[in-house]
Amino acid sequence: MEATVSKSLQLTTWNSSDYTVPTLNNSMRLYTRYEKNKSKRVNNMLNCNHLATIKPAIGHRTAGLKASCTSQNFPASLLKSETFIAEEDLLLKKKSEEIKPCLSGRCIYLVGMMGSGKTTIGQILSEVLDYSFFDSDKLIEQAAGGTAVADIFKLHGEGYFRDNETEVLHKLSLMHRLVISTGGGAVVRPINWKYMHKGISVFIDVPLDALAQRLTAIGTASRPLLHHGSGDAYTQTFMRLSKLWEERSEAYTNASVRVSLECIADKLGVGDVCSVNPTQIAIEALVKIEDYLKE
Ligand SMILES: Nc1ncnc2c1ncn2[C@@H]1O[C@H](COP(=O)(O)OP(=O)(O)O)[C@@H](O)[C@H]1O
Ligand SMILES: O=C(O)C1=C[C@@H](OP(=O)(O)O)[C@@H](O)[C@H](O)C1
């Protein structure tokens, strides 16, 4: 089914504001309205429960399809065009092959606010670059005999956690061929930058409301700095993130490159940062790293 749809969506039309693809076995209609360059996507429910999103791959002019089907006829809750996945994966692979030799084994440090996707994207990057992946929080937990970050904060305080974070980053900075997901607050201590500047640092910039949505959905138990405040879970998380952002936004500008989800969404023409998937972010990170290496 997906192949049929992908094929039928050549990009001469992907920016048109209303799409109906009536050829899906006559059992499904595709109905996504795009307003180019507007952060507004309206999914109109017509006469069935299917919802589809059409989007171009970064740097490609071929439309892909991502469909979420709630009908009994479609077992998967999220279907994605095989063509589209293959194109994204190919692009990711191609970009990684291009920049591998230029990296000369330099480590990649991912920085960004809590929940920005450092771990998710870091794992993808490490795989395609044939690098090892480390999450600095996990290393701190290991060094503390398996004590969880939230408990380290509770038992010893944030200062102790930060000292351990610095120690971990120091050790990692002596190594090569690593992708490292750092904790959201690692950017605050200048000494950490001394270590991270041994490699290439990538700031994953995600709007706070999208972060608050993600973190509210997965819960904040493992992220102690989000535990204060009043109001509903989303508001509490959003307020805490806003406060931290005020304190840290400048520190993130120390990163070698910035990967903005808003910019990616713009390039894709989707408007909504929640539609940008980790592979697309990883591709953009590689593009930005490539540009940085050329400077
Ligand atoms: N591009 C994305 N779109 C939607 N959810 C994402 C995306 N990237 C990561 N996530 C989800 O957000 C949550 C936090 O991601 P994670 O990689 O752990 O962030 P971090 O390491 O920066 O704290 C996870 O549940 C993850 O699945
Ligand atoms: O922003 C922060 O100060 C923190 C972020 C967390 O990591 P993630 O960014 O991986 O959630 C973790 O290091 C700790 O809870 C403190």
What pLDDT, in 10s, does the model give residues 3-19? 332 322 222 212 222 22
The length of the chain is 295
- Cβ neighbours of residue 107 under 8 Å, at least 6 residues apart? 131, 172, 173, 175, 176, 177, 178, 179, 180, 198, 199, 200
What is residue 57's DSSP assignment? P
What whole-number distance in Å separates Cα of residue 7 and Cα of residue 175? 46
Of residues 45 and 194, the one with the higher pLDDT is 194
Stretch 180-209: mean pLDDT: 98
Domains of the chain: which residue ranges?
A: 2-82, 89-294
Q: Which CATH homologous superfamily contains domain 89-294?
A: P-loop containing nucleotide triphosphate hydrolases (3.40.50.300)
Q: What is the DSSP string of 241-281?
A: HHHHHHHHHHHHTTSSEEEEHHHHHHHHT---GGG--HHHH
- The winner for highest mean pLDDT among 41-45, 53-57, 82-86, 235-239 is 235-239
Which residues does a 6 A CB cutoff place in the pocket of ligand 2? Answer: 114, 118, 137, 149, 183-185, 223-225
Of residues 3 and 140, the one with the higher pLDDT is 140
Model confidence band, residue 221 (pLDDT cutoffs 50, 70, 90): confident
Query: Which ligand is nearest to the Cα of residue 261, counting in written order?
Result: 1
Model confidence band, residue 80 (pLDDT cutoffs 50, 70, 90): low
Model confidence band, residue 64 (pLDDT cutoffs 50, 70, 90): very low
What whole-number distance in Å separates Cα of residue 166 and Cα of residue 255? 17
Query: Which ligand is nearest to the Cα of residue 182, counting in written order?
Result: 2
